[in-house]
Structure 1
Amino acid sequence: MIYEISYTALVFFFIFVGLVIGLSFYFGRKTRSSSSYYAAGGQIHWGVNGIAFAGDYLSAASFLGICGMIAVSGFDGFLYAIGFLGGWIVALFLIAEPFKRLGKYTFTDALNAKFNSRAITLSASVSTLIVSVFYLIPQMVGAGDLVMPLLGMPHWAGVLLVGAIVIVIVASAGMASTTYVQFLKGGLLIVLSLVLTFFILKNGLTLTPDFKGNSSHYTFMELTPQVEDDKVVAVPDWNVIAQQVIGDKTFVKLSQNGIERWFDWERGHDSSLLKEALTVTQQANGQTLYNGEPKENRRFYQVGHMSKIVVNGREVEQTGPLSPFEFLSTLQKSEIVRFLQVKFPDGADQVSLYYQEPTAGASFMLPGLKYKIGRDANLWSKLDFISLMLALFLGTAALPHILIRYYTVKTPRDARKSTILAIAAIGGFYILTLFMGLGSAVNGVLDLESSNMAAPLLARAFGAVLFSIISAVAFATVLGTVAGLIVASSGAIAHDFIDVYLKKNLSDDRKVKLGKIAAFVVGIFAILLGMAFKGINVSFLVGWAFAIAASANLPAILFLLFWKKTSETGIAASIIVGIVSSLIIILTSPTMWDKYGLDPESAIHQLENPALISFPLAVLTVYLVSLRCPRRSSNADIENSTG
């Protein structure tokens, strides 16, 4: 899409960035020890930590990704929110208090509390790095998407900007500044999402939303073709160029005044129509055309509307303000126009075509549009859905950047109270994502090239100020989460690997300096990955991080806490098996096959999410290896370690 710079948004953006950097330098003056750098000295109030938990967790995946997935795939997108929230139950009842008692700075500290094992130190620090990197990718992708409409900069520039600011945040003050950035943006994100939901309900539903990509509502062309022998042979005022059959769909390419466009051929009982589609053509010469024209001609529109609104059994043009329940029930009885994508070669060019698919509201509000678990399901689709839910439910309690937050509060009781507050804040926010996602689906604001922009573009439909504030807060959302991830990564490198594993016995000051250097290196790496994965939905990418965390970390944590016979060898082996099996499945998945330039259908398997296989493998490994190789050393029994 073409985005124009919003100067109001620029003002709010620089205010937020200035505030964030100011906080960093303020707390930086107070950061003198490794404890204050990696865990804020354990002095954060549980209330602040609870909202910071929410701010850390409500990342680009939650605000940008989930809203975008709901807008495109209906209730299936909301399943991510259910899985993300469900994982906190595991954290509350099984992890929060005992984990606080075990550690000092990092996830590795806690895992190695019973043992003095270099194998655990190495495997856990590597796991922390891998999970953090996989979580960093979607944050950086989301950052690039945000900067395009906010500052008018290209995607790569947005990724670079976020990386630079976050490196400043972490290098300045570590966990202290990160905590207050997360607290600030977590609270603001929830408040502004409430405001945006209010505008959605106040606006109600209409058949003719204003398509903000154009000066007024855009009506897609519908043409009547002349057909012979199941082929379009002529269309008034157009030249017929080609016909392409993909599955049960037929698309026709027409030209007029030298401009080529694709149409979806819809055949009825008595007649047929050619309905205009939106296309992105990657030409062999490197140029990209949007609906047959250069991007600057603005012929590629934001979309999302309803073809039928039903209230009390009759069709209406618009509803006026609705209550939350009226909004949901009206959508369920109505019909929403979705835009589905197909890709195919057109000679030497590659075409991405988006065609209209009227969808009953009842289908949109039920599972099945993205994850085939009922009708049209096959074995792979069912397994993939189960695997995704397993990863989301189990991954939360094993994310290193979430776990280290338990060390920022004073007591295990504070850790539990922080978790309860986080669950309340996160649960409330996820309810709001349902309305924001559905509002994006029907208000003509969807950028088909990036579903991640659904919520900010919806805010723009209600006014420049709301768009500016929400975009700036969304940017701060990315900053806070990325900062937390880089703190976890720098701790894994400087504290776990260099100080503990390599036995360098670093001074406190040296440990902090190495942590800052590690933050810089990880930040650069995250920037490069954010550029490489441009365009993929950020919630989908975060699912991979959750799967790796659930497989590599959670079995080790649970067995350490609740099985006396768990050995250091079993823990290290399970982490390695969880990491390796997850990565193998991810790197051979259909999505990665597409990234390699290969046909996704020809991938070794059709499983996008690895947890269904990798998590049981890791559980089996820690159990069998612990039996085969009993623990050799112990500082205390697990009962003493956990109180």
Structure 2
Amino acid sequence: MIYEISYQALIFFVLFVAFVLWLSFYFARKTKSASSYYAAGGQIHWAVNGVAFAGDYLSAASFLGICGMIATVGYDGFLYSIGFLAGWIVALFLIAEPLKRLGKYTFTDALNANFKSRAITLTAAISTLIVSMFYLIPQMVGAGDLVTPLLGLPHWVGVVLVGIVVIVIVASAGMTSTTYVQFIKGGLLIVLSTVLTVYILKNGLSLKPNHEGQNYHEFVTIPAQVSNGKVTQAEGWQVVSQQEVKEKTYVKLSQNNVGRWFSLSDKDGQAVLTEALSIEEGANGTKLYNGEPAVNGKFYQVGHMNKIMLDGKEVESTGALSPTKYLSTVEKSEITRFSKVSFKDGDTNVDLFVQNVTPGKNFMLPGLKYKIGKGASVWSKMDFISLMLALFLGTASLPHILIRYYTVKSQRDARKSTILAIAAIGAFYVLTLFMGVGAAVNGVMDVESSNMAAPLLAKAFGVMLFSVISAVAFATILGTVSGLIIASSGAIAHDLIENYFKINLDEAKKVRAGKIAAFAVGALAIALGIAFKGMNVSFLVGWAFSVAASANLPAILFLLFWKKTTAKGISASIIVGVATSLLIILTSPTMWGRYGLDPATALHQLDNPAIISFPLAVITVWLVSLAAKPKTIVISA
């Protein structure tokens, strides 16, 4: 996408970052002990912690990724919202209060409270680091996506900028400043998402969604003559080349020395060529957007209604609609989405974004991404079940979420803050459905980055709304990354250095070790954020949930609810959960594509590993505990 810098948005962005940094330095003066650094001294009010829970949990995956996935694949994207919210039921009823009883600073403390096992310390700390890294990647990817339209800078600059700011936040005041950053951005995110939803409903649906500073682009359709499968003539255009990709035909035409790509189809027995969006990059690095240099600005934002059916009549626009009427109208209409096709045309790499007219009913039901109905394979069904399993079980085993239970005073406060978090998170996820659908039909999609769906939708309704939402979206990333780095630094400094390697540190040195660890984790997060550029952040977070559910949850549940659980069983289940989930992810079709290989030739067709890795971890903790001599577990009431 070609972006122009929004100076108003830039001002909001700078002011917000300045405020966050001031907050960090303010609390830094009060952070002297390990307890205050890792757990805010356990003095956070339950209501603040509840909203901070929401702020921590509503990450880039929730605001940027889910909205983008709904906009591109409809209801299948909303399944992430459902799964993310449902996971809190496990956290509330099974994890919150027992974990508060057992823990001190970290997830490892809770697992090891009754065993004092070095094996648990090592494996749980490593699991914390791996899960945190998987969760950090999508946050950093989202940061780069956001900074591009705000500052007009490359993706990697945004990743580095977020990394530096977050390292300063964490290294300054630890959990206290992180909590208040999360509290502020959690509240603002819900309020502003509500405002954006009101704009969506007020604007309604239109076949030609013109917005402030943006013109609707009419895509050209040209009659064509075809002989022996080859396009020989196109009215008013010269045929340049033709490509066959996965049984589809794409043709390059030229007019006034500008080459454009079209897709070939049949309409009422007549061959027609329909204009597509294209990015061409030659061997010399020259990049063309729709046949012209970037400076010409000929790359369009897309996504619109193809047909609107309102109360049984076909209309061009609807005007304001109620929430239920908005969704039902979309369901009865047709949406034009864009799907990506990549191929080589001689020495030129071509990314083509082809129009895909989708019935609203298909858009509002599962199946566009996860094939579970007619035509579904065993692999696609397994992948869908695996994703839902990971989202449902992963929440209660994310280290950066679990450590928030140590920031409140009592078990009762832990339960109350969880209930408030569920209410806030549930309200937000309902709003993601409207924001995602709104982005799909309002001509605002950046086909290169689905992560920008919600901010660009806000920009369509006004620069002021875009400015504030972009700043809050950036704060969303800051808050979540801060929590992840706190969890990671705790795993390194508290679990590994102090407890595993038995290096005795005074309070000041414990805090210093945590800050040094924060710098190291932040640097690694920056590198990974740059490496995974372009991937949808919700999809990436699904991997983090899979690893967390497989590595951590079996150990937690058996520790709390089975008296025969042993230290060897817990450590073995963590190893099996981490190893199997990573092995499946690294050999998945998606990673095969990242390696430059054909995803169809991957060792298996499973992107989400939980359906295999979680049961294996459960069986492991059970069998190893039975085989070993158990230690008696006493969990105080």
**What is the TM-score when the length of structure 1 is the normalising length?**
0.98
Distance 2:259 2:505 in 1: 66
2:211/2:461 contact within 8 Å kept: no
2:301/2:444 contact within 8 Å kept: yes
Residue 235 (structure 1) aligns with: 234
Residue 294 (structure 1) aligns with: 293
2:225/2:271 contact within 8 Å kept: no
**Mean alpha-carbon deviation: is it higher for 595-604 or for 550-559?**
595-604
Residue 426 (structure 2) aligns with: 427
Is 1:273–2:269 an aligned residue pair? no
Residue 74 (structure 1) aligns with: 74
Secondary structure (helix, strand or coil) at the match of 1:193 reads helix
Q: How much does 1:97 deviate?
A: 0.4
Residue 182 (structure 2) aligns with: 182
Matches within 5 A, 1:84-163: 84-163=84-163
Query: Which one-letter code corresponds to 2:97 in the other structure?
Result: E
Q: How much does 1:505 deviate?
A: 1.7
1:41/1:408 contact within 8 Å kept: yes
Distance 1:350 1:144 in 2: 23
1:211/1:445 contact within 8 Å kept: no
Provide, for residues 45-84 of structure 1, a one-character-per-residue CA deviation record: whole Å limited to 9, x for no partner.
0000000000000000000000000000000000000000
Residue 584 (structure 1) aligns with: 583
Query: Which one-letter code corresponds to 2:576 in the other structure?
Result: V
Is 1:260–2:244 an aligned residue pair? no
Matches within 5 A, 1:375-454: 375-454=374-453
* Among 627, 636, 639, the residue aligned to 2:635: 639
Secondary structure (helix, strand or coil) at the match of 1:223 reads strand
2:456/2:466 contact within 8 Å kept: yes
1:211/1:218 contact within 8 Å kept: no
Distance 2:317 2:267 in 1: 28
Secondary structure (helix, strand or coil) at the match of 1:304 reads strand
Residue 31 (structure 2) aligns with: 31
Query: Which one-letter code corresponds to 1:549 in the other structure?
Result: A
Provide, for residues 451-482 of structure 1, a one-character-per-residue CA deviation record: whole Å limited to 9, x for no partner.
00000000000001000000000000000000
Residue 226 (structure 1) aligns with: 225
Q: How much does 1:268 deviate?
A: 2.4
Secondary structure (helix, strand or coil) at the match of 2:210 reads coil
Query: Which one-letter code corresponds to 2:382 in the other structure?
Result: L
Q: How much does 1:248 deviate?
A: 3.9
Percent identity reads 70
Residue 552 (structure 2) aligns with: 553
1:119/1:568 contact within 8 Å kept: yes
Q: How much does 1:243 deviate?
A: 2.1
2:214/2:460 contact within 8 Å kept: no
Distance 1:630 1:195 in 2: 59
Unaligned runs of 5+ in 2: none
Provide, for residues 495-516 of structure 1, a one-character-per-residue CA deviation record: whole Å limited to 9, x for no partner.
0000000001211110100000
Provide, for residues 134-162 of structure 1, a one-character-per-residue CA deviation record: whole Å limited to 9, x for no partner.
00000000000000111111111100110
Q: How much does 1:2 deviate?
A: 1.2
Over 3 Å counting, the alpha-carbon distance change for 1:62 and 1:215 in structure 2 is closer
Secondary structure (helix, strand or coil) at the match of 1:120 reads helix
Secondary structure (helix, strand or coil) at the match of 2:243 reads strand
Provide, for residues 27-60 of structure 1, a one-character-per-residue CA deviation record: whole Å limited to 9, x for no partner.
1100010000000000000000000000000000
Q: How much does 1:256 deviate?
A: 2.3
Secondary structure (helix, strand or coil) at the match of 2:104 reads coil
Distance 1:411 1:367 in 2: 42
Residue 22 (structure 2) aligns with: 22
Provide, for residues 577-622 of structure 1, a one-character-per-residue CA deviation record: whole Å limited to 9, x for no partner.
1011011111111111111111111111110011011101100100
Provide, for residues 378-416 of structure 1, a one-character-per-residue CA deviation record: whole Å limited to 9, x for no partner.
111111001100110000000000000000000011000
Secondary structure (helix, strand or coil) at the match of 1:401 reads helix
Distance 1:501 1:617 in 2: 26
Secondary structure (helix, strand or coil) at the match of 1:281 reads strand
Residue 348 (structure 1) aligns with: 347
2:3/2:149 contact within 8 Å kept: yes
1:566/1:630 contact within 8 Å kept: no
Residue 171 (structure 1) aligns with: 171
Matches within 5 A, 1:295-310: 295-310=294-309
2:74/2:365 contact within 8 Å kept: yes
1:560/1:638 contact within 8 Å kept: no
Q: How much does 1:108 deviate?
A: 0.3
Q: How much does 1:271 deviate?
A: 1.3
Residue 368 (structure 1) aligns with: 367
1:310/1:334 contact within 8 Å kept: yes
Query: Which one-letter code corresponds to 2:516 in the other structure?
Result: I
Distance 1:638 1:264 in 2: 67
Provide, for residues 492-541 of structure 1, a one-character-per-residue CA deviation record: whole Å limited to 9, x for no partner.
00000000000012111101000000000100110011011000000000
Q: How much does 1:215 deviate?
A: 5.0
Secondary structure (helix, strand or coil) at the match of 1:357 reads strand
Provide, for residues 219-270 of structure 1, a one-character-per-residue CA deviation record: whole Å limited to 9, x for no partner.
1111111222332101133221222222342211112233222101111233
Distance 2:481 2:18 in 1: 17
Query: Which one-letter code corresponds to 1:234 in the other structure?
Result: Q
Distance 2:400 2:93 in 1: 19
**Mean alpha-carbon deviation: is it higher for 374-383 or for 487-496?**
374-383
Residue 199 (structure 2) aligns with: 199
Query: Which one-letter code corresponds to 2:16 in the other structure?
Result: F
Over 3 Å counting, the alpha-carbon distance change for 1:236 and 1:179 in structure 2 is same
Is 1:516–2:512 an aligned residue pair? no
1:202/1:321 contact within 8 Å kept: yes
Over 3 Å counting, the alpha-carbon distance change for 1:376 and 1:298 in structure 2 is farther
Query: Which one-letter code corresponds to 1:62 in the other structure?
Result: S
Unaligned runs of 5+ in 1: none
Secondary structure (helix, strand or coil) at the match of 1:305 reads strand
Secondary structure (helix, strand or coil) at the match of 2:21 reads helix
1:211/1:303 contact within 8 Å kept: no
Secondary structure (helix, strand or coil) at the match of 1:22 reads helix
Q: How much does 1:14 deviate?
A: 1.4
1:53/1:405 contact within 8 Å kept: yes
Provide, for residues 3-30 of structure 1, a one-character-per-residue CA deviation record: whole Å limited to 9, x for no partner.
1111111111111111111110111100
Runs of 4+ in 1 over 6 A off after TM superposition: none
1:65/1:452 contact within 8 Å kept: yes
RMSD after superposition: 1.1
Query: Which one-letter code corresponds to 2:100 in the other structure?
Result: K
Distance 1:4 1:269 in 2: 41
Distance 1:253 1:333 in 2: 34
Distance 2:355 2:404 in 1: 45
Distance 1:340 1:145 in 2: 19
Secondary structure (helix, strand or coil) at the match of 1:237 reads coil
Secondary structure (helix, strand or coil) at the match of 2:376 reads coil
Is 1:529–2:528 an aligned residue pair? yes
Provide, for residues 259-285 of structure 1, a one-character-per-residue CA deviation record: whole Å limited to 9, x for no partner.
222101111233121100011223222
Secondary structure (helix, strand or coil) at the match of 1:224 reads strand
Distance 1:583 1:462 in 2: 42
2:134/2:541 contact within 8 Å kept: yes
Matches within 5 A, 1:613-632: 613-632=612-631
